[in-house]
Amino acid sequence: MPDKVVKAGDVNQRVGVEVIAKRGVDVPKLIKMLIANAGAEFASTYYYYTILRMRLAGHEDYKEICEDARLEDRAHWELIVPRIYELGGELPNDLKAFHDQAGCAAAKLPDPPTVVNILTLLLESERCAIRSWSEVCDMTFGKDPRTYDMAARILNEEVEHEAWFIELLAHERDGKIVPSGHFRRGDPGHAPYSKNAGFYNP
């Protein structure tokens, strides 16, 4: 494939794939990684974070931060899916199969569903996302600018999410102050990196 040249008018091959393959990207492996990460962002995070958020009643500040992370992960899903198809891949035509191959374990409601257990689950879910997106960044750096840019944007937000949940868990469980540098999003799900929104920086 690296030596192949897409013929004029050919709709079966993609120059966007040919170019990054020539640069050393294992495109089938990348597609598989992106599908796994899409599964994590949509099924394992957005869906389960919805359930987890409902159980933070009485902790409105925690709910608001969980909502930001939940909606930003939905924004990540919207970024990933077009890239999968641009590379010639596609989503599994079976929701269970899609869920089961997700790159991170499902963030199911813990038993018992205490605030500490929920915050711990949220924290570990974000850590899995950081590891997964770091792998995509490493694989595409200097070879696939489009995927790298997308992955770096998502990774920036996942790193912020981890810091948020460290701050909340340290306060709730340990009575410690571990500042995250969290700033209130303009709107829920603002996603300043993945939506390319401007930062409030007077």
Ordered structural domains, the chain, with CATH? 23-174 (1.20.1260.10)
Distance CA 11, CA 73 (A): 32
Residue type at 45?
Answer: T
Distance CA 33, CA 40 (A): 11
Instruction: Specify whether the CB–CB gap between 56 and 118 falls below 8 A.
Output: yes
Q: Would you place residue 106 in the very low, low, confident or very high pLDDT band (cuts 50, 70, 90)?
A: confident
**Against a cut of 0.75, is the pTM above it?**
yes
Distance CA 6, CA 45 (A): 38
Distance CA 151, CA 38 (A): 11
pLDDT digits (tens, 9 = 90+) for 123-175: 999 999 999 999 999 999 999 999 999 999 999 999 999 999 999 999 999 99
**107 has a pLDDT exceeding 90:** no
What the block records as the tokens of 131 is 């590891």
Pick from 40, 54, 50: which is nearest to 70 by CA? 50
Please tell me the predicted confidence (pLDDT) of residue 202. Answer: 45
Angular region, 179: left φ>0, alpha ψ -120 to 50, beta rest: beta
Distance CA 146, CA 143 (A): 9
* C-alpha separations of 113 from 39, 53, 55, 118, 135 in Å: 24, 11, 7, 6, 31
